[in-house]
Amino acid sequence: MKDLMGVMKQAQELQARMEKMQEELENTQIEGTAGGGLVTVTLNGKGEMRGVHIDESLLKPDERVILEDLIVAAHQNARAKVEEMAGEKMRALTGGLPLPPGLKLF
């Protein structure tokens, strides 16, 4: 019974650390850029878009398609950074324990 109590305590500690990590992710700002910095997309650590900056040189009617492509590219860049950062935090949190494939904890 003593082992079960120890496991329960560890699970509660892991859950508390997980909640703290999720709060940190929500408050983290990650930027992705495209077009040599002409377009910047800001996401929080959970991948939610928080802002977009577009250089004025792209605000011409004939540049619309380029601008759309750059926004998508900047978002993909930021999203990749978010996933990398979240993965690093998760590995630190779980101590490198292998988690089942597809398990989304945030």
Cα separation, 64 vs 1, whole angstroms: 66
Question: For the chain, which domains are there?
Answer: 29-94 (3.30.1310.10)
Q: What is the pTM of this model?
A: 0.69
* Rounded Cα–Cα distance for residues 40 and 104 (Å): 27
| Rounded CA separation 90/101 (Å) | 14
Under 8 Å between Cβ of 78 and 53: no
pLDDT digits (tens, 9 = 90+) for 72-97: 999 999 999 999 988 888 888 777 66
Residue 105 pLDDT exceeds 60: no
Model confidence over 11-37: pLDDT tens digits? 788 888 888 888 888 889 999 999 999
pLDDT at 26: 84
Integer Cα distance of 41 and 77 in angstroms? 9
